[in-house]
Amino acid sequence: MTTTSRTAVVTGAARGIGADVAKRLAADGFAVAAVDLDEAACKTVVEAIEGAGGRALAVGVDVSDENGVQAAVERIAAELGEPAVLVNNAGITRDNLLFKMSVDDWDAVMDVHLRGSFLMARAVQGYMTKAGWGRIVNLSSTSALGNRGQANYAAAKAGLQGFTKTLALELGRFGVTANAIAPGFIETEMTAATAERMGVPFEELKAGAAAQIPVGRTGKPEDIAHAVSFLAGEGAGFVSGQVLYVAGGPQA
């Protein structure tokens, strides 16, 4: 394993895509702060990283809590190192058709994806601009293009694309890039929960999705971790403000 003094912060790192991203960035040589609602839930990821010879810190915070985010980022800077990479991955779904969608469903999704990404980016940007180097990667989705039953989630994921492009414009001169990854169907607890909500066995939902995907399979968290690894790397310094669809086909 290569070593670096750089620190990466991954939100929603306790499971799913975030857990794989955290482990991949650690394998790339970053010290990794695994951030999630429940600090104890990040233990497995932290132990896996440390077991492989890396450095990691579990941090429990709700990314939509302004004071909590500020305190969490300050703790990461003090205990692990000043953030050089931020991956805004924490996410939730509250799917419903528009006429049945509650204000709470709308607000909850906006709070985690948009407010959370804004608060995290605002809290880390000072360290990155001071260092003259930084990488911000925001998790969008193919749902940004529109998805039945996801008016809230689609709006948030499309909003993250505009947010990303604006960060790229503002922070580029300080050596900080900002990009978005828009995954298609990835096998995680989020998509398993969607299957359950629809009353369809997960295997059936996956098979149906795979049949529509040009490469003939659904995605896995490591597919997204690989793309994050590229965008977080030294060599990607001239890639900024982009939305990379990682969906097994030309989704955009």
What residues act catalytically? Answer: 153
Distance between CA atoms of 252 and 239, rounded to whole angstroms?
18
Q: Which residue has the tokens 């694309």?
A: 161
Cα–Cα dist 123/101, whole Å: 31
Min dist CB 101 to ligand NAP, Å, is: 17
In the bound state with ligand NAP, the residue whose beta carbon lies nearer, of 41 and 131, is 41
Q: Is 83 or 116 the residue whose CB approaches ligand NAP more closely?
A: 116
| Shortest CB 185 distance to ligand NAP, Å | 5
Q: H-type helices in 28-99, by residue range?
A: 43-51, 66-79
Residues near ligand NAP, by CB under 6 A: 11-12, 14-18, 36-38, 62-64, 89-92, 112, 116, 139, 141, 183, 185-186, 188-191
Directed axis angle between helix 16-27 and helix 43-51, to 10°? 20
Of 174 and 217, nearer to ligand NAP (C-beta) is: 217
Tokens of 42: 């990040």
> Nearest CA to 170 among 105, 243, 121, 222?
121
Least distance in Å: CB of 241 to ligand NAP? Answer: 19
In a 3-state reduction of DSSP, which class is residue 179?
A: strand
Question: Both tokens of residue 200?
Answer: 């369809």
C-beta of 61: minimal distance to ligand NAP in Å? 6
DSSP string, 95-152: -B-GGG--HHHHHHHHIIIIIHHHHHHHHHHHHHHHHT-EEEEEE--GGGG--TTBHH
Q: Is the Cβ of residue 173 or residue 203 nearer to ligand NAP in the bound state?
A: 203
Cβ neighbour number for residue 199 with a 10 Å cutoff = 6
Output the smallest distance, CB 186 to ligand NAP, in A. Answer: 4
Residue 84 vs 139, nearer CB to ligand NAP: 139
